[in-house]
Chains A and B, each alone.
Chain A
Amino acid sequence: EPEVTQTPSHQVTQMGQEVILRCVPISNHLYFYWYRQILGQKVEFLVSFYNNEISEKSEIFDDQFSVERPDGSNFTLKIRSTKLEDSAMYFCASTRTPPNSPLHFGNGTRLTVT
């Protein structure tokens, strides 16, 4: 069964550094998302992406964050200057046709900012 893949599984970075989290959504999906989960807290929506542009973004997704689909398969989340509070599990997700199809998540990237 096709799945969403994310790399790396764990990334450690120093405060102020830029990080890029990578995702390969399911190939015939059209809508892409990033969510995050701070340890012990709820899963939170960050951003949705369709037709090569952002559809929606949350208050969390400020100017330090950006997303890109650089080619036909990858979907990336960039954090320009990481802060300690960016430490979290970041999940990529995709779906074919919301709201009629389920959201499929990757296994996540655990980001640790020191």
Chain B
Amino acid sequence: KQEVTQIPAALSVPEGENLVLNCSFTDSAIYNLQWFRQDPGKGLTSLLLIQSSQREQTSGRLNASLDKSSGRSTLYIAASQPGDSATYLCAAPSGSARQLTFGSGTQLTVLP
């Protein structure tokens, strides 16, 4: 059974800092890993999907890496902005590719 852990649970940084969010998963036989953003009371917005054959995926100021052998993924946010404040969730497939197991998330606050 897949288990996903995210650290830290919360992070507060001043605007402009680069930061790293961590995700670990127990079952490394995954097809992909997905990072989401969740704003309070809202749905989940897909940020990046990394296939198992890739090591990195980039979108704007976001860069996600995947190391299947160690069961880890990181989300790097460059030059953070107050608008980046949200909860960031990582999710890995469990069983088949059709079911995602989510971590508890990292609640990010970027201070102006």
Contact = CB atoms under 8 A, between A and B. Distances in A.
B43 A56 contact: no
Given A43-B44, A43-B89, A108-B42, A103 B100 contact: yes
Contacts, number: 61
A55 B45 contact: no
Q: How large is the interface on A (under 10, 10 to 19, 20 to 34, 35 or more residues)?
A: 20 to 34
Interface residues of B, number: 27
Interface in B53-112: 89, 91, 93-105
Given A55-B98, A98-B98, A105 B45 contact: yes
B26 interface: no
Contacts of A43: 44, 89, 91, 102
B101 A45 contact: yes
Given A43-B44, A104-B46, A107-B43, A56 B96 contact: yes
14 contacts: A35-B100, A45-B94, A45-B100, A45-B101, A55-B96, A56-B95, A91-B44, A93-B44, A103-B34, A104-B46, A105-B44, A107-B43, A108-B42, A110-B41
Interface of A: 4, 6, 31, 33, 35, 42-45, 48, 50, 55-56, 58, 91, 93, 98-108, 110
